[in-house]
Amino acid sequence: MDDTNVNAAAVEQAGGLPTQEQILEALKVVKDPEIPVNVVDLGLIYGVDVAESGLVDITMTLTSVGCPVQDLIRADAEMAVGRLDGVNEVNVEFVWTPPWGPDKMTEDGKRQMRMFGFNV
């Protein structure tokens, strides 16, 4: 086992940093107000990095470049992840490459969209 794994294991045992899975679960409360599906199941989350300092960097996209609720989604994501134990700061960066498409959605997200009458 290398030093990185040992340090990460020690931090987790001490109740320190959240895991990527915990962060993704927290982000499931964040929804685009125009689409009734959370940002994780929509496939909008491209990356999550957690630094030992408690900084969480989230790389995500939106369904369109001109999304009028970008600031709301950013604030909701920062608040949802910021509530997790061990998180000191959250940075959300929006990227546009690769562009979002329905193919990025989870099966659960597609099912939810079909329930609301969207054809995916």
SS (H, E, C) the chain: CCHHHHHHHHHHHCCCCCCHHHHHHHHCCCECCCCCCECCCCCCEEEEEECCCCEEEEEECCCCCCCCCHHHHHHHHHHHHHCCCCCCEEEEEECCCCCCCHHHCCHHHHHHHHHCCCCC
Query: Can you give the residue ranges of every domain in the chain?
Result: 18-115
Q: Going residue by residue through the chain, which has 120 residues, state the pLDDT in tens, using 9 for 90 and above.
A: 333 333 344 344 346 999 999 999 999 999 988 888 999 999 999 999 999 999 999 999 999 998 899 999 999 999 999 999 999 999 999 999 999 999 999 999 999 999 988 888
Q: What is the pTM of this model?
A: 0.84
Q: Which fold has domain 18-115?
A: GMP Synthetase; Chain A, domain 3 (3.30.300)
Is the distance from CB of 82 to CB of 50 less than 8 angstroms? no
